[in-house]
Amino acid sequence: MSAAPQIKGWCPSAWRPMLSGDGYLVRLRFSCGILSSEQARAIAALAQRYGNGVIDLTRRANLQIRGIAEERIPGLQTELLAGNLIGSDAGDIPAVIASPLAGRDRDALIDIRPLVRELEAHLAADSRARDLPAKFCIAVEDGGRLSLQDVGVDIAFEACCRHTRIGFAVRIGGEHIGFIETDNLAETALTLAAAFCSLRTRQLSPARRMRDLVEEVGTSSITASCPALSRASGHTKAQRHKHAWGGYAYDGVGPITEDVFGLAAPFGSFSGAQLALLADVAAVHAEGELRLTPWRAVLIPAIAAGAIDRVAAECARAGLITDACDPRRYVAACPGAPACPSASVATRQLATLLGPLLRSRDTLHVSGCSKGCASSAASSLALIGREGRYDLVRNGTAKDTPVLFGLSPEDVCLAVKRITTEDLAHV
């Protein structure tokens, strides 16, 4: 029974599998989250052949093949390499999250795909990037329809209009720090990342995320070595549409435009059969491309006219979530026990049981431990495993202080029923 979450300090990759409770897992990244039908089909087949058939879509828009036996790892790596699903470079580089419809969004100000590829190449080649903490993440937005404002990243570039020119607004740890020309994106990212590394090492307890460093030292010391930054005025799409949209909560499920449809798997875990079906649906009804999003949803772009309902129906038949109001979309749960060694409780069975008890607009997070991998956002109800029992947090995250402790699954069901039928203040 685990007493505390294990902080590993590194992220898995194809070349650096991570041992979990259900065997090893490998993580696969795709530039701009773009995956062809052929690639998706190949991953589905490899997950069934080498793993336990489960493929997670992570909050960094990566795929994870789970449940791999140690002796099968070299065979899987060989096949991933042969299928061009991974590169031969074993180096860890920070995650780059791009607007999920990059290059296909008519509302976008710029096609960011080449800039993201350039940034990834710079990060892979520059030794400064190796010193970054594992969770460090960079976002590049095209100023289009799907905002990444709600995705917690360390450095964010958002395409914007400055007079008649397109540039990028830059944020670090959520704070706006200025604008850059498009040509300066990669170098600016590396300079800010290097400043982060250098300043954090001077701290007694080095910051792991940019927002922590910004809180400690302010933005000016981090941007001091960044000559490409300009303070001149510009307008991001977020600034222009803030009031009209009334926020940026978005989860990527349902029709996005007349030719883009989003869907998700319960708890973000696809079966091999579901991923293979998505590959076929995208090939038959669209242009054979899938887009992975940080909302743990998959988008199918360029769907043929009139085919969107068929896409939705085929995906729903396969058990996927196709309706943004589906209650399963409001329930988050990490793999829990026995899949994760940090977990002392099962999570998804309980989450499935509790989902129907929720009131509309309630959200539920069941976490195997206080690390809270499945969701960093506050939930109406959060259940956190501890020493084989559950603690219950109201309107908070897995790290917040519980109001009820040491509950059995039966106690949890009773408590949730009471909470969802009575005034929460009396619980």
Binding site for ligand SF4 (CB under 6 A): 5, 334-336, 340, 342-343, 367-369, 371-373
Least Å from the CB of residue 411 to ligand SF4: 20
Nearer to ligand SF4, 20 or 184 (CB): 20
Nearer to ligand SF4, 290 or 364 (CB): 364
Nearer to ligand SF4, 8 or 165 (CB): 8
- Our CA angle for 234, 194, 176, nearest 5°, is 25
Nearest CA among 344, 305, 299 for reference residue 322:
299
Residue nearest to ligand SF4 (CB): 368
The answer to whether 332 and 318 have CB atoms below 8 angstroms apart is no
Least Å from the CB of residue 344 to ligand SF4: 8
Nearer to ligand SF4, 269 or 271 (CB): 269
Nearer to ligand SF4, 322 or 375 (CB): 375
Cβ-based neighbours of 192, under 8 Å, separated by 6 or more: 155, 170, 172, 222, 223, 226
Nearer to ligand SF4, 59 or 200 (CB): 59
Q: Give the Cβ contact number of residue 191 at 10 Å.
A: 19
| ω into 100 cis (within 30 of 0) | no
> What 3-state DSSP class applies to 343?
coil
Nearer to ligand SF4, 168 or 267 (CB): 267
Least Å from the CB of residue 7 to ligand SF4: 9
d(CA 387, CA 406): 8
d(CA 292, CA 332): 18
Least Å from the CB of residue 343 to ligand SF4: 3
Least Å from the CB of residue 137 to ligand SF4: 17
Least Å from the CB of residue 265 to ligand SF4: 16
Give the position of tokens 């539920």. 364
Least Å from the CB of residue 330 to ligand SF4: 18
Per-residue b or e along 372-403, where b marks 16 or more CB atoms closer than 10 Å to that residue's CB: bbbbeeebbbbbbbbeebbbbbbebbbebebe
d(CA 241, CA 141): 15
Nearer to ligand SF4, 223 or 367 (CB): 367
CA distances in angstroms from 202 to 36, 127, 385, listed in the order given: 44, 19, 36
CA distances in angstroms from 246 to 243, 249, 252, 363, listed in the order given: 5, 9, 17, 20
Per DSSP, the chain holds a count of helices (H) and strands (E) of 11, 21
Nearer to ligand SF4, 222 or 369 (CB): 369
Q: Give the Cβ contact number of residue 277 at 10 Å.
A: 21
d(CA 373, CA 259): 32
